């Protein structure tokens, strides 16, 4: 199945797999979930599709004090981001430093990983929107 997905992805221009953390299979999953990227005017709107936009718990007049991710978007896209972010926080120097910074801020490891997902989502948005290969900062 993976070989067939890679074959199908080779038939189209694929900029997502130029991001080191994203395999051909994850690129296919993300591409299928995104659809037309132009329907999102900003990375924040795109984060809503992924279900990793921040939200505050509210019921009636009660407003919670913790900010959590909404989880209202595509579970498939959210899972693909999580699968890409998990190794990225170890292998990508920029994302690893970002993850460590969040841990130093006394964030829970899952919260820090969610922040890495959001950073990765911003990379995905830029690459797909601009139709260009990914280039790390400083290049």
Q: Is the pLDDT confidence value at 2 over 80?
A: no
- Cα(first)–Cα(last) distance of the chain, in Å? 35
Nearest to 50 by CA among 105, 122, 104, 112: 122
Query: Considering the domain boundaries, does residue 43 fall inside one?
Result: yes
Query: Considering the domain boundaries, does residue 54 fall inside one?
Result: yes
The CA distance from 10 to 42, in Å, is 28
Per-residue pLDDT at 70: 67
Query: Considering the domain boundaries, does residue 74 fall inside one?
Result: yes
- Domains in the chain, number: 1
Q: What is the pTM of this model?
A: 0.79
Query: Considering the domain boundaries, does residue 139 fall inside one?
Result: no
Q: What is the mean pLDDT of residues 110-116?
A: 89
Query: Considering the domain boundaries, does residue 135 fall inside one?
Result: no
Q: Which of the two residues, 11 and 132, has the higher pLDDT score? A: 132
> What are the pLDDT digits (tens) for 62-111?
776 676 776 778 889 889 999 999 998 888 899 999 999 999 999 889 88
> What are the pLDDT digits (tens) for 46-76?
888 888 877 667 778 877 667 677 677 888 9
Query: Considering the domain boundaries, does residue 33 fall inside one?
Result: yes
Which domain range does residue 112 map to?
Answer: 2-130
Coil, strand or helix at 19: coil
The CA distance from 29 to 23, in Å, is 10
Q: What is the mean pLDDT of residues 19-36?
A: 86
Q: What is the average pLDDT value for the chain, to the nearest integer? A: 84
Query: Considering the domain boundaries, does residue 136 fall inside one?
Result: no
Per-residue pLDDT at 120: 92
């Amino acid at each position: 199945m993976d070989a067939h997905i890679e074959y199908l992805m080779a038939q189209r221009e694929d900029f997502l797999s130029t991001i080191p953390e994203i395999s051909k299979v994850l690129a296919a999953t993300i591409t299928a979930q995104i659809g037309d990227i132009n329907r999102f005017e900003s990375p924040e709107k795109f984060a809503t599709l992924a279900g990793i936009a921040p939200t505050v718990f509210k019921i009636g007049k009660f407003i919670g004090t913790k900010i959590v991710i909404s989880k209202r978007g595509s579970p498939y896209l959210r899972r693909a981001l999580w699968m890409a972010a998990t190794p990225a926080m170890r292998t990508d120097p920029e994302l690893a430093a970002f993850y460590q910074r969040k841990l130093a801020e006394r964030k829970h490891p899952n919260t820090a990983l969610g922040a890495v997902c959001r950073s990765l989502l911003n990379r995905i948005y830029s690459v797909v929107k601009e139709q260009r290969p990914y280039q790390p900062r400083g290049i």
